Structure 1
Amino acid sequence: MSPLLESIMSSYSALTSIASEKGALHTLSTFDVSTVATIIGLFLSWKEVIERLQATNTQSLHLVVTSYWYLLESLVVTKDEVADKAAQDVVFFKRHARQLLKAMFSLHDLHWIAAMLNPHRRMLKHANDVELAHAYCLVRARIGKLMEMAQMDNNEEVLSPATISSTLSPR
């Protein structure tokens, strides 16, 4: 959607000159350039997130948490937008898009763990205290499970049949 709108905006001056030459300028009169520019601005953060997540062949699990925060932050309604009567459609869109994002998107434990373990994202600067404590607890619990599994593997190696038979063989 965004590339289409960007294409329209970049070629609007050419469209108006062609339409005026053809005597069809009245067809563009319903086109509101400022509204299209506002819509492009709204979709810009979504475009950036999609490109960041899909552009590389590297892992992107650690980007989910920060991308979610970035999208939520882009949908915050400012005081200027609330005061501006012309921006009421934008306010309506942002509020509903924010509600939908919160309702339809859920962060799973692996997203939090991946964000915590990534050296560039591990501080989770936008996290509140509850989210930060939750992420730390998840990492600690996962490390505890891994240590238990390693301990069990070590015990199995010690008690494996080959080890037992070699220690019990007659000399």
Structure 2
Amino acid sequence: MANGEELLWDAADKGTAFVPRLRRTAVTAVGAGLFVLVLWASAGATWAAWATAAYVLMEIAYRLWDRHRLVEIHIVVTETDGLTRLRLRQVGGRTTEHDPHHVARVLIIRDNVVDTAKLRLRLNGKLVLFGRAGRPPAVTVWRKACPRAHIQERNAWWGMPGVPD
């Protein structure tokens, strides 16, 4: 961390994990393709071919969505004009800077079972960015960094398995 930076969000997993996901998608697609060939010999297996294609398309869509998730958020004071900026780093490596006054909403969702949290950040009232799971941040730091934002913290809606809520 450079001088004058304060960490607001830090995800536990910052990697893209492209190779394991690609390997899993390829193995599943080949297995489903063999299943389609075996079924097609004896009966109509159009549904299995469509299911395989849908699975591969969903994996591609998830991969594209996951590249835009946030892994780090720093509050930075710029050296040129001394303004405070939010530096957002995404999974794909893209880094952007935004004015903290343009943050409309910060939602921190704490997990009930494990000590992790998820982040939803709304900029300019329309752009919603999702954060990968990480350690729960202090809400007071967010309130200080983004004074105009509606900052909310809540527990997840699911409970611990086997324990009544």
- TM-score bracket for this pair, using the shorter chain length: under 0.3
The normalised TM-score by structure 2 is 0.27
Higher strand share: 2
* Larger RCO of the pair (alpha carbons < 8 Å, separation 6+): 2
Larger Rg, first or second structure (1 or 2): 1
